[in-house]
Structure 1
Amino acid sequence: MKKILLPLSLPLMLAACNDPLSGLEPKPAGPVNVTVMALNDFHGNLEATGFAGVKVPDPKDPAKTVSLPAGGVELIGGYLEQERAKNPNVLFVGAGDLIGASPVTSSLLRDEPTVIALSKMGMKASSLGNHEFDQGLKELQRMQNGGCDSNDTSKACKFQNPYPGADFKWLGANVVDKTSGKPVFAPYLVEKVAGVKIAFIGAVLKDTPSIVSPSGISTLNFLDEAESINKYVPELQKQGVDAMIVLIHQGGETENGRGVCETFKGPIVDIVNKLDPAISAVVSGHTHQAYNCTVNGRTVIEGDFYGHMLQRLDLTVTPSTGKVDVRAMNVLMDSRSLPKNAAMTEIVNRARSLTEAVKQVPVGTIATSQISRASNAAGESALGDVIADAMLEGTKAQSTQIAFMNPGGIRADLNASQAGNTVTYGDLFAVQPFGNAMTVLELTGAQIKALLEEQFDNAGVAGQTKVLQVSGGFTYSYDSTAAKGSRVNASSIKLNGTVLDAAKSYRVVTNSFLAGGGDAFSTFTKGTNVIQMPNVVDIDVFVAYVKAHPGLAGGAQNRITRTK
């Protein structure tokens, strides 16, 4: 892999089908310059959020520094408008997770303002992401096509009635119906600009079923990414496309997230190595990292998350030779230098006006200004402890004894936004935006041991670890170097100091995502005496817990011990 130097400037830069006879149309005589702007892992962040890569003086206390506000639709819209004025040949696309796990301003309105904003900014296509499936296939199809037939009518069509749907297409070459085997969403989109045709092929990680609620995607199969993408290359070549770009919600990582390509690794590398040579570049996502690397002669790029960066591909397409030159960079959506788009400001202001009252409701106080979701060496976080305790306390009427929380469901630190370390509903919602219902079930001690083993090599991926957050009184230790299936010391698994009895049943509470086998924790699906609690959701028990414990402190992170 070759490292691409990443220029540093302001804005900061780090490095469906057409007519089958359309390929016969005359091509431009010389090279054509086309710019592709891409957005990944936006998660409904209509407003700018802190970009950890740059520190600036704190407006409230200039002696301190805070993360630079970056992203948000006002700055993204301003940048796109600015660049289109320079070159009209700009195509705006996405790499998945545009919606889902979103802040209150978007989520309380079912992410409709986000889709409307992206549409008004001229987005043409985006790959599906796993979070697009958070509310199930039917709701995702409504987000694509419009209307108010939602599974949450309290939120749908409150921003605009009727909700118009997306002007762009979600693409999923590897998402097919189990019965017919046919794609449920368009596999690709071809855009003609300045006389040349640019094809975008979309895919989502094949492991999506292990990280979303199974019930919402029960009719779908998620196929191999590279095989599914390559399947459509001959079809597009017959249409006479001049360049092919992959939009994929799967990514990689570099050491310490610094974008150094010599350390680049992850699932995306294997996928790219299998792609047809006709594909010129890959726009990736999912791992929330910023990188701009070359794999097997192709640009592979991802742009952080929450809209902090846009991936920019400057293409020089020469139809007469079939050559496509790609210059790639990540462009920081910098609040210090970029203009704001007036139409996007209107959308943000309307979304705020509809959600601010709920967002600003004080809930309680915490001991310090922040309770962190950062995990210790064992994988336990102070905020994870709190959330597991909240789940347990919120279901005491069901005689629960142990709570389990998935770390991926904790989307932000708990930050106090009001004076006196007061946290609001919006602060809590930012932490738990999914609306997963509580589920109570019984597992034996042996099943709990099996459940804990599923944390390691999670979903069959060697070295992938997802440590469940656990409630107070439940403790255990593990050795990460031990053989598969033997990493957790059975004699260390204790409830209130007593070793769990392998044959005895224990009352467990988790969320509906995990209860359905999400994150590849299949042992939950083997539980007995299951009580579904659709009217008791994660945010409700979290709010109740914070209210009941003024001056709440983060957990001591002493429930899980890693011996090696």
Structure 2
Amino acid sequence: MKDTLLVSAGDAVGASAPVSALMQDEPTLNILNKLHFDVGTLGNHEFDHGVNEMLRQIYGGKNPTTHKNFNGLDFPYVCANVISEKTKKPLLPPYVIKKVHGVNIGFIGVDTTETPSITMPNNVKGIQFTDEAKAINKYAKVLKKKGIKTIIVLAHDPGTSNQDGSNANGKVIDIAKKVDPEVDVIFGGHNHAYLNTKVNGKLVVQAYSYGTAFSDVRLWIDPKTKDVITDNADIITTYQDAIKPDPQIKKMIDADEAKVAPLINQKLGTAAAALTGQQNASGESNLGDFITDAQRDATGAQIAITNPGGIRADINSGTITWGDLYTVQPFNNTLVTMNLTGSQLRTILNEQWSDKTDPKMLQIPGMKYTWDSTKDGDKVVSLTLADGTPIENDKSYTVTVNSFLSTGGDGFLELAKGANFVNGMIDLDALVNYVKKQTSPISVSTGDRIKKIN
């Protein structure tokens, strides 16, 4: 009898490498089936292409691009806090019960309530994200009435801790403090960090991302009481270069890579040194500079702005392929050019620090600014165009952003208040065209657009 269960805490698809994304992430889903996962829940990236596509990936249906049928997942997805506005009920089953050695174990899923602010509005149209802890408690009560004493939560919510479990913090930790004592384990997600601790007697774990580690949770359950009597967990690093690939999985990946190879292997240029999203102390990165230079070049706007969350990978030194650029910008966001006043630009820059624990430093060409971390409220000290001309509060400027930011995404609400919106090309196309125009090897210096003075 199976006594090891494989579970996923969300973001199994979306923002993925082109070998998966170009085929609507069916290659990834096929591998999850081959690995015989037992239960999963939704993350924010499951909504990258909207509710209907998310449901098609789970339950199967005709592929919108190839028009071939996809059978869907062989295991259930559960989510208790994503509610249909039409039915007022969970869009997916809120929980599932698995029997292991005669003991029923309940699994409840929840997705972060941040999802509507970090995806396009149309992607979550018709659904609501309710409080995670309240949803967990509602269905923990249902499970308890069924006699289930072992309850596991899959929560796509962030948390982190030291290696010894100390200094645990984050939303999933707050959730653990609020939920029913009968909950035994909470798997976290979303911030791709290390987490292994206990909160109010509950194991709370998270194992980074991209298969670099997994959470190995062990539960000993009394067959008479049906409750957990002993538990522990380790976060196991997967040294992928030190293992022999499974032959079945390797065959699947090789076949998928062959299908997309002609496109993703196209050589577009070379990089003299790595272009990375790693920001300096002021908040600027050379890849952020390069991407926004490409967007400004594509639209002719005075200024361009992009969010760090839209930069999904680095570009290594050497050959730059189409696939490299797709991996950096996989969302197919449209470029949107608008008019913003100097006052609005200052507001947008200050929105970078709306979340004091997780500032989101925008990448910018066409303007420069200095900022002071010791100031409350308005941290921006000086603000000019790239040539040093002061940006005036009442003057209008043309600004290009991606379509996600244009709706106020990532908390940059002022961007949604721009005027004269004009849609342009896809951000990936702008980046591809820009690389082709550069003289190789490409070298990008950084450090002159954003200056932290304190």
TM-score class, shorter: over 0.9
Residue type of the partner of 2:452? R
Matches of 1:287 and 1:524, distance apart in 2: 25
User: Equivalent residue for 1:203?
Assistant: 110
Task: Compute the displacement of 1:495 (Å).
Answer: 4.4
Matched, 1:355 2:260: yes
Q: Distance in 2 between matches of 1:518 and 1:130?
A: 13
Tell me the TM-score normalised to structure 1 length: 0.77
Q: Does 1:273 align with 2:165?
A: no
| Secondary structure class of the residue paired with 1:499 | coil
- The 2-side partners of 1:480 and 1:221 are apart by 36
Q: Residue 262 of structure 1: CA displacement?
A: 1.7
How many Å apart are 1:395 and its aligned residue? 1.2
Tell me if 1:532 matches 2:423. Answer: yes
Report the equivalent of 2:388: 497
Greater length-normalized contact order (CA 8 Å, ≥ 6 residues apart)? 1
* Structure 1 residue 543, shift from structure 2 partner: 0.9
1:103 corresponding residue in structure 2: 17
Equivalent in the alignment of 2:306? 405
Deviation of 1:272 (Å)? 0.8
RMSD: 1.7
Q: Out of 428, 431, 453, which is 2:350 matched to?
A: 453
Mark the CA change 1:196 to 1:322 in structure 2 (over 3 Å): closer, same or farther. Answer: closer
Residue aligning to 2:156: 249
TM-superposed CA distance for 1:149, in Å, is: 5.2
The alignment-based identity, stated in percent, is: 37
Deviations 1:219-260 (A, max 9, x none): 221111111111101111122224110101112124xxx634
The question of 1:479 aligning with 2:368 is answered: no
User: Aligned partners of 1:560, 1:107: CA distance in 2, in Å?
Assistant: 33
Unaligned 5+ segments in structure 2 are: none
Q: For residues 143 and 396 of structure 2, what CA distance do their matches in structure 1 show?
A: 57
Count the aligned residue pairs.
Answer: 452
Alignment correspondent of 2:435 = 546
For residues 164 and 285 of structure 2, the distance between their equivalents in structure 1, rounded to whole angstroms, comes to 28
Q: CA deviation at 1:124?
A: 2.0
Tell me the CA shift for residue 354 of structure 1: 0.8
Partner of 1:443, secondary structure, is strand
Question: Which deviates the most, 141-150 or 219-228?
Answer: 141-150
Amino acid at match of 2:422: I
Structure 1 CA distance, aligned partners of 2:445 and 2:62? Answer: 42
Evaluate the alpha carbon distance shift between residue 217 and residue 339 of structure 1 in structure 2; reply closer, same or farther with a 3 A threshold: same
Indicate conservation of the 8 Å contact 1:439/1:531, yes or no: yes
Residue 339 of structure 1 deviates from its aligned partner by 4.8
Match of 1:432 in 2: 329
**Whole-Å separation in 2 of the counterparts to 1:271 and 1:94:** 18
Q: Which runs of structure 2 are paired with 1:322-341 in the superposition (5 Å)? A: 322-324=226-228, 325-335=230-240, 338-341=243-246
Does structure 2 conserve the Cα–Cα contact (< 8 Å) formed by 1:100 and 1:131?
yes
**C-alpha separation between the residues in 2 aligned to 1:235 and 1:267?**
24
Aligned to 1:414: 315
Query: SS in structure 2 opposite 1:276?
Result: coil
Contact residue 383 and residue 555 of structure 1 kept, 8 A? no
Deviation at 1:494, TM superposition (A): 3.3
Contact 2:370 2:383 in 1 (8 A): yes
Give the SS at the match of 2:147: coil
Q: Deviations over 1:275-316 (max 9, x none)?
A: 110000111111111232112221111111101112121211
| Alignment partner of 1:297 out of 201, 222, 226 | 201
Tell me which of 214, 223, 226 is aligned to 2:130: 223
In the alignment, structure 1 segments of 5+ residues that lack a partner are 1-86
Distance 1:366 1:338, change over 3 A: closer
> Equivalent of 1:182, from 63, 86, 89?
89
Task: Tell me the amino acid that sits aligned with residue 297 of structure 1.
Answer: G
Q: Is the contact made by 2:275 and 2:315 (CA closer than 8 Å) also made in structure 1? A: yes
- 2:271 maps to what in 1? 366
Is 1:163 the equivalent of 2:52? Answer: no
**Deviation by residue 1:56-110 (Cα, 9 ceiling, x = unmatched):** xxxxxxxxxxxxxxxxxxxxxxxxxxxxxxx731211101111111111111111
- How far the C-alpha of 1:508 sits from its partner, in A, is 0.8
- Tell me, in whole angstroms, the C-alpha distance in 1 between the residues paired with 2:360 and 2:242: 39
**Alpha-carbon distance, 1:411 to partner:** 0.9
Match of 2:248 among 313, 327, 343: 343
Give CA deviations for 1:131-165 in whole Å, capped at 9, x if unaligned: 11111112111111212253xx2xx56xxx31111
Q: Is the 8 A contact 2:140 2:180 kept in 1?
A: yes
Compute the displacement of 1:413 (Å): 1.0
Contact kept in structure 1, 2:149 and 2:182, CA below 8 Å: no
Taking structure 1 as reference, are residues 537 and 282 closer, same or farther at Cα in structure 2, changes over 3 Å only? Answer: same
State whether residues 2 and 100 of structure 2, in contact with CA within 8 Å, keep that contact through their aligned partners in structure 1.
no
Amino acid at match of 2:344: Q
Equivalent positions of 1:548-563 (< 5 A) are 548-550=437-439, 551-563=441-453
Once the two structures are TM-superposed, the CA of residue 193 in structure 1 deviates from its matched residue by 2.3
Question: Does the Cα contact within 8 Å between 1:214 and 1:517 map onto a contact in 2?
Answer: no
Q: Does 1:507 align with 2:408?
A: no
Task: Using the TM superposition, give the Cα deviation of residue 538 of structure 1 relative to its aligned residue in structure 2, in angstroms.
Answer: 1.4
SS of 1:467's equivalent in the other structure is: coil
What is aligned with 1:49?
none
Aligned-partner SS, 2:358: coil
Contact 1:104 1:426 in 2 (8 A): yes
Question: C-alpha separation between the residues in 2 aligned to 1:207 and 1:335?
Answer: 32
Once structures 1 and 2 are overlaid, which stretch shifts more, 200-209 or 337-346? 337-346
Partner SS for 1:199: strand
What is the rounded CA distance, in whole Å, between the counterparts of 2:444 and 2:98 in structure 1?
Answer: 51
Tell me which residue corresponds to 1:138.
52
Kept in 2, the 8 Å contact 1:213–1:517? The answer is no
Asked if 1 retains the 8 angstrom alpha-carbon contact of 2:148 and 2:226, the reply is: no
Contact 1:385 1:557 in 2 (8 A): no
Aligned to 2:296: 392
What's the TM-score once normalised by structure 2's chain length?
Answer: 0.95
Distance 2:105 2:445 in 1: 52
Report if the CA contact (8 A) 2:103-2:226 is conserved.
no
Matches of 1:555 and 1:189 in 2, distance apart?
52
- Code of the residue aligned with 1:517 in structure 2: it is G
Aligned partner of residue 182 in structure 1, secondary structure: coil
Tell me by how many angstroms 1:529 deviates: 0.8
Question: What is aligned with 1:5?
Answer: none
User: SS of the counterpart of 2:380?
Assistant: coil
